């Protein structure tokens, strides 16, 4: 199974949203979310999106997951290639690692243009919150 995630923040920090979705091996979407996060930084929004993704995979009993996103920071930190210097991001990473326990998870950076659906979901969450 493959999961895609993205976070958006308008203002950094500012109004933020998280978008994520899971696809099966035939690239059919089996789950997706667009969630408003309130005031967050872009990195916090990205981390929240991957946490929602990992939680959804866990709820579905996924054993092997490829996580793709266009945040090099989040991908490299979660795959333990980069150190996490900020405490609040360390806490978010710890939540993600906990959710990934028992799953074989690989993290892949993809260019922004290959992550359009997750980006659209994250922005839809902000737009919906601002309209209500």
Q: Is residue 34 part of a domain?
A: no
Query: How confident is residue 130, by pLDDT bands cut at 50, 70 and 90?
Result: confident
Within a domain: 127: no
Q: Find out whether 86 and 126 touch, Cβ atoms under 8 Å.
A: no
Which element (helix H / strand E) includes 60? Answer: none
**Tens of pLDDT along 31-58?**
999 999 999 999 999 999 999 999 999 9
Q: What is the pLDDT of residues 1-33, one digit of tens each?
A: 999 999 999 998 999 999 999 999 999 999 999
In a domain, 132, yes or no: no
Q: Is residue 8 part of a domain?
A: no
**Alpha-carbon torsion (113, 118, 120, 126), positive or negative:** negative
| 11 falls within a domain | no
Give tens-digit pLDDT for 93-105: 999 999 999 999 9
Report CA 110 to chain centroid distance, whole Å.
Answer: 13
Domain extent for 43? 20-29+39-85+92-113
DSSP state of 29: E
pTM recorded for the entire structure:
0.96
Residue 108 bridge partners (DSSP): 68
Contact 132, 24 (CB under 8 A): no
- Distance, in Å, from the CA atom of 103 to the CA atom of 61, rounded to the nearest integer, reads 9
CATH at 61: 3.30.420.10
Query: What average pLDDT does the segment 60-81 reach?
Result: 97
> Across-strand partners of 36?
17
Is 118 a member of any domain? no
Residue 132 pLDDT: 72
- Residue 55 domain-assigned? yes
Instruction: Map residue 101 onto helix, strand or coil.
Output: coil
Beta strand segments in the chain, E: 2-10, 14-23, 29-40, 64-69, 104-109
Q: How many domains does the chain contain in total?
A: 1
With cut-offs at 50, 70 and 90, classify the pLDDT of residue 91: very high
For residue 129, being part of any structural domain is answered with no
């Amino acid at each position: 199974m493959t999961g895609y995630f993205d976070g958006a923040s308008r203002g950094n920090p500012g109004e933020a949203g998280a978008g994520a979705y899971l696809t099966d091996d035939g690239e059919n979407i089996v789950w997706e979310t667009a969630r408003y996060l309130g005031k967050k930084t872009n990195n916090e929004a990205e981390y929240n999106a991957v946490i929602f993704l990992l939680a959804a995979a866990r709820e579905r009993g996924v054993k092997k997951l490829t996580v793709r996103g266009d945040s090099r920071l989040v991908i490299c930190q979660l795959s333990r290639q980069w150190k996490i210097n900020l405490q609040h991001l360390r806490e978010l990473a710890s939540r993600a690692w906990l959710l990934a326990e028992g799953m074989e998870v690989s993290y892949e950076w993809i260019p922004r243009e290959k992550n359009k659906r997750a980006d659209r979901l994250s922005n839809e969450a902000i737009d919906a919150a601002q309209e209500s």
